[in-house]
Structure 1
Amino acid sequence: VWGCNQKRDFWQHIIDALRFNEFLGKRGLRGIIDYPEQYYSRGDLLVSPGLYGDVSRVQQEAMACGCPTICWDTDAYEDTHPYKYAKAFDLNDLAQKIMEIYEGVLDDRERVAKQCRNLAERYFDIDFEAQQIVEILRDVVAAQ
């Protein structure tokens, strides 16, 4: 929303109408820098559906910040590693997963956050991702 100029007024109106600023806090204060963990740690969970197992950076950052994520079970490559999977396009199952996570957060937020952080450290290690990219690039260069 903040970096996209297309339909910015529309999205700003949505943010204002839903009073997200009350949830997220004021933006653009002098001397204050916004960090993703401030947003993710304020949320109880993140729903990140995707059809092909494309892991979003948002999901990775949320998990690393202790915010549990729900993804659809359509990941054939098993790359998403969310806190919970929901059946794709099944709103009842998605609602059930949201309720389960929310109850867990209410019972023991620290435990849930620690599990999320552990999953992120295990599966979304940036050093490992960088090594994989370097290997792919070396293979491409060697093949030419």
Structure 2
Amino acid sequence: MKKLITLLLIPFFTLACQKDSVEIIPNIRFTAEINLDNPQYSGSNPFIVMPGGTNRYVGINGVVVFEVTPTEFYAFDLMCTHQHDKTGSFFVEEVNKGDVVLKCPECGSEFNVAAEYGSIVKGPAKWPLKRYQTSVSGSILRIWN
């Protein structure tokens, strides 16, 4: 009898233990190369890289990059991780140029891009920003997923 009860409970627990989140930020493949000598990027920390030109795809709709050291960078997707009730995607932005805390104008969530994991400063978002891989060779910063 105990075995029968155990066998009946296994499917229940399997279904009950599903993740409470879904893939908030779509996992797209891209590689972007940024010339750090470009005046558009030099002298700003953090700086934003938008899609266009040779970097047709950069994240979902752009990436924010924070220079930790001349050879170490953090790169995060600009898409807010909060599940909005409305359709469409909402993107974090700098409130003031050079701020390390970016804010979603729709939900008010704030994220620290100077932190290794794009941590949440203020909700309602429950997850940090999506982080991308980076490497530096000379003055070229490569960002990819």
Normalising by the smaller structure, the TM-score range is under 0.3
* TM-score computed with the length of structure 2 as normaliser: 0.22
Greater C-alpha Rg: 2
* TM-score computed with the length of structure 1 as normaliser: 0.22
1 or 2, which has the higher strand percentage? 2
Q: Which has the higher contact order (CA 8 A, sep 6+)?
A: 2
